Structure 1
Amino acid sequence: MSLPSWTDEKFGTMKRAALWLVTVVGEGNVFTKEDVKQAFPGVSQADRRVRDLRDFGWRIDTNREDLGLNQHEQRFVFQGEPVWEPGKGTRPASSITDTRRREVLARDGHHCRSCGITAGEMYAGTFVSAQLDIARRPVVQPGGGTQVEQVAECNRCRVGGKGLTADADAVLARVGRLGGLDRKTLTEWVSADAREFAEVERIWADFRTLPADARNKIRAALSLPPV
Structure 2
Amino acid sequence: MERPSWQDAKLGTMKRAALWLVDVVGEGEKFTKAELREAFPDVAQIDRRMRDLRDFGWRIDTNREDLGLGAHEQRFVLQGTPVWEPGKATRASTAITATRRREIFARDGHICRSCGIAPGQLFAGSYEAAQLDIARREVSRADGSSAVELVTECNRCRVGGRGITADAAAVLAEVRHLGVLERRVLAGWVSDDRREFSAVERLWGDYRTLPEESRASVREALMSGDED
The CA RMSD measured in Å over matched residues stands at 3.5
Task: Give the conservation status (yes or no) of the 8 Å contact 2:60–2:77.
Answer: yes
Task: Give the conservation status (yes or no) of the 8 Å contact 2:55–2:94.
Answer: no
Task: Give the conservation status (yes or no) of the 8 Å contact 1:116–1:195.
Answer: no
Give the letter aligned to residue 17 of structure 1: A
SS in 1 for 2:63: coil
Task: Give the conservation status (yes or no) of the 8 Å contact 1:63–1:69.
Answer: yes
Task: Give the conservation status (yes or no) of the 8 Å contact 2:15–2:84.
Answer: yes
Q: Deviations over 1:159-203 (max 9, x none)?
A: 322333322231134456789999887555423213545556777
Deviates more, 1:143-152 or 1:168-177: 168-177
Q: Deviations over 1:73-107 (max 9, x none)?
A: 11111111111111222353433222212211111
The aligned residue for residue 114 of structure 1 is 114
Give the letter aligned to residue 192 of structure 1: D
The aligned residue for residue 53 of structure 1 is 53
Change (3 A) 1:197 1:46: farther
The aligned residue for residue 87 of structure 2 is 87
Taking the aligned partners of 1:24 and 1:72, their CA distance within structure 2 comes to 18
The aligned residue for residue 212 of structure 1 is none
Change (3 A) 1:169 1:89: closer
Change (3 A) 1:91 1:35: farther
Quote the sequence identity (%).
Answer: 64
Give the letter aligned to residue 118 of structure 2: T
Give the letter aligned to residue 60 of structure 2: I
Task: Give the conservation status (yes or no) of the 8 Å contact 1:141–1:167.
Answer: yes
Give the letter aligned to residue 54 of structure 1: R
Task: Give the conservation status (yes or no) of the 8 Å contact 2:142–2:172.
Answer: no
Give the letter aligned to residue 50 of structure 2: V
Give the letter aligned to residue 22 of structure 2: V
SS in 2 for 1:75: strand
Which aligned pairs between 1:50-199 and structure 2 lie closer than 5 A?
50-90=50-90, 92-175=92-175, 189-196=189-196
**Please, what TM-score do these two structures have when normalized by structure 1?**
0.78
Which aligned pairs between 1:207-226 and structure 2 lie closer than 5 A?
223=226
The aligned residue for residue 7 of structure 2 is 7
Taking the aligned partners of 2:184 and 2:85, their CA distance within structure 1 comes to 55
Deviates more, 1:30-39 or 1:99-108: 99-108
SS in 2 for 1:102: helix
The aligned residue for residue 37 of structure 2 is 37
Give the letter aligned to residue 191 of structure 1: S
Deviates more, 1:155-164 or 1:182-191: 182-191
Q: Which runs of 5+ in 1 are unaligned?
A: 210-215
Give the letter aligned to residue 33 of structure 2: K
Change (3 A) 1:15 1:113: same
Give the letter aligned to residue 114 of structure 1: S
Taking the aligned partners of 2:71 and 2:19, their CA distance within structure 1 comes to 24
Give the letter aligned to residue 56 of structure 2: F
Q: Which runs of 5+ in 2 are unaligned?
A: 211-216
